[in-house]
Amino acid sequence: MELLESDDPKAHLLRKAQEQKEALNGEVKLLSDKTEKVIKTALVVGGALAATYLIYRLLSDNGSKKKGKKIKVVRNVTADDEAEEEVVRESPFSGIINKLGVVLATQASAFLLSLAKEKIGEYMEKREEQKDADHL
């Protein structure tokens, strides 16, 4: 430390180099903190979108299926070799339940997107405040 406290040019340059090194380390830390916040925000938004998509896929019917009423024919064979055919129709409530699932998925996606919008807005406001504070 004696070398850093003396008045010769070499000591002055060493002090200046140390100050610049500390300033550079501070800037690197600040940049890594900002990057971490951006990544977290992106992960929140991506997770919200992925969850919405998965919920939608689970609750909605498959688009490749043919639309229409499903009818299942059940054949019962009795001991006298007579075949009885029973027609079983799909419940009328299944369509309502399917539509309810689509509505719920839509509402969930709207909620998650609005939440993501708020988070991004908060992040952008904080970033602007930091820029203003850095320029002062």
DSSP string, 64-132: TSPPS--EEEEEEE-TTS-EEEEEEEPPTHHHHHHHHHHHHHHHHHHHHHHHHHHHHHHHHHHHHHHHH
Q: Which pLDDT value is given to residue 98?
A: 77
- Please give the average pLDDT of every successive group of 10 residues along the chain, which has 136 residues: 65 92 93 89 85 77 52 58 60 72 83 88 89 80
